[in-house]
Amino acid sequence: MSGTRINFASVCSTRNLVIASLMIGGSASIAAVPRPDHVVIVMEENQGSGKIIGSANAPYINSLASGGAYFSNSHAITHPSQPNYLDLFSGNNQGITDDSTTPVQFTTANLGAQLISSGFSFTGYSESLPSAGYTGDTYSTVQGQNQYVRKHNPWVNWQSSTIPQPTNTLPASVNQPFTSFPSNFTLLPTVSFVIPNEQDDMHHGTIAQGDTWLKNNIDAYAQWSLTHNSLLIVTWDEDDSGDTTNLIPTIMYGGMINSGTYSESINHFNVLRTIEDMYGTSYAGAAATSTPITDVFVAPEPGTIAIGAASLLSLHLRPRRQSRRRRKLF
């Protein structure tokens, strides 16, 4: 994790800087937002926490939850699917409240454009997308079976072929089929989304099918992340009940994570804000007023404060719940 080493005696008092613990000799250690080399976010579909956590149908996902940080009070923003994808990607549903094809190309702030303009990289990988840059509503190789659907691909709504690239828009090259997901994980972009198709994301397929797909396709990266300063996030768009609680599983997994169950209330905006703080980007939509997640990360060495400049004024520490063990990043 990159950051600035600061002596405790020189740290000014500020409303949002919370001291984690006072160390012998008058120094402090704060668990701040790290800067992973790679973040992979997998979006699953339409299952509440009660259907996933502890389920015999999801052994792999439960292994990620027990080995990583499981957020037991994580919520989607709304129903149905598409607005939640837009909320996580841009901090706003862009006025879209259903699953219909968006009527216009958006030019608003979004995570992909923020990363690229800040010198990082972004790609979205969608299973069953027929080709890079595809803008169609659906695609399937099996008649009568739902596979790729545009409503689960938010970045396509900012895609533009105009050169030079207009502000906040994205080139077609960031919209990739999952077959382009590299097996050499050092070649991954800084941040990527992985979208299983509707048979493998638990939307039309079963929980067991989705769990197996995740293990077969993402576990190699998950294990690699433990020793390569990288992070896996697995979350769901919404629960399956249609109620206002909208309680969903969210899991963070990687070597920088203090494993345990965390009970603070979070939603898609908090996840977006956390990623933005990791890379010091500007804030999109509701992320600007949302709190980053900081308490799950392995703390810097005692006696120092390791913290990115963009995170300094927005750092909030929350109580850790049921922490089971601490893994070293290196």
Domain count, the chain: 2
Residues in the chain: 330
In-domain check, residue 199: yes
- Nearest CA to 193 among 204, 205, 181, 184? 181
Q: Which residues contact 244 (CB under 8 A, 6 or more apart)?
A: none
Are residues 130 and 232 located together in one domain of the fold? yes
Q: Is residue 233 located within the same domain as residue 116?
A: yes
Q: Is residue 215 part of a domain?
A: yes
User: What pairs with residue 259 in β-bridges?
Assistant: 325
CA distance 126 to 223: 21
Reading the block at residue 209, the tokens are 């099918």
> Does the residue 217 lie in any domain?
yes
Domain for residue 328, yes or no? no
Please tell me the predicted confidence (pLDDT) of residue 299. 81
Whether residues 312 and 250 fall in one domain: no
Query: Is residue 290 one of the residues assigned to a domain?
Result: no
Residues 204 and 271 in one domain: yes
The secondary structure of 84-132 as a DSSP string is HHHHHHHSS-TT--SSSPPSS---S--HHHHHHHTT--EEEEETT--ST
Half-sphere exposure of 234 (CA within 13 A, CB side): 32
Residue 148 belongs to domain with CATH number: 3.40.720.10
Instruction: Check if the beta carbon of residue 33 is closer than 8 Å to that of residue 309.
Output: no
Are 268 and 309 within one domain?
Answer: no
Contact by Cβ (8 Å): 121, 131: no
Residue 83 resides in a domain: yes
229 is a domain residue: yes
Specify the pLDDT at position 214. 99
Same domain, 9 and 113: no
Distance CA 150, CA 268 (A): 19
Domain that holds residue 1: 1-32+300-321
Output the pLDDT for position 300: 62
Residue 186 belongs to a domain: yes
The verdict on 14 and 45 lying in the same domain is no
List the pLDDT tens digit at each of the 330 positions of the chain: 344 343 433 334 333 433 333 333 333 333 489 999 999 999 999 999 999 999 999 999 999 999 999 999 999 999 999 999 999 999 999 999 999 999 899 999 999 999 999 999 999 999 999 999 999 999 999 998 999 999 999 999 999 999 999 999 999 999 999 999 999 999 999 999 999 999 999 999 999 999 999 999 999 999 999 999 999 999 999 999 877 799 999 999 999 999 999 999 999 999 999 999 999 999 999 999 999 999 999 986 554 344 444 444 444 444 444 545 444 443
Same domain assignment for residues 57 and 156: yes
